[in-house]
Amino acid sequence: MKLDHIQLAMPEGEEEKARSFFSGILGMVEDEKPYPLNERGGCWFRKGGVILHIGVDKNYSPQKKAHPAFVVPNLNELEKKLKEKDFEAVWDGALQHRTRFYSSDPFGNRIEFMKDGDGFSQK
């Protein structure tokens, strides 16, 4: 099995906030949404093997618990970028083999960021 993409939701008409966060801060590249999906609003992004779709939800409510977790090469650098743009980074040391923190996108969706190279062995 292989993961194709992750989808998060956002309120209608907030595409520029999504671009500012996912491209501007996280360095993701925006993909063009194909017709007819482009008429629904939202944005698609990718970086490396990660594909992220941000879809419009007219009854939007942020995800405070469910979340994607992204592995990044430099957590401290990302934390600095997030704080410069007034996003909080909450470090979590609960897992001995993971260096990580949580933040939120501009819509309040929880996102976890992990240090590259940390983790458990895969079986």
| 58-109 residue pLDDT tens | 999 999 999 999 999 999 999 999 999 999 999 999 988 899 999 999 999 9
3-state secondary structure of 79: helix
**pLDDT at residue 123 is higher than 60:** no
Residue 76, SS3?
Answer: helix
Alpha carbon separation from 100 to 9, 58, 119 (Å, rounded): 23, 32, 10
120: pLDDT confidence band, cut at 50, 70 and 90? low
Q: Is the model more confident about 121 or about 46?
A: 46
Q: Which CATH class is domain 6-115?
A: alpha beta
pLDDT of 116 reads: 83
Q: What are phi and psi of 9, to 5 degrees?
A: -105, 160
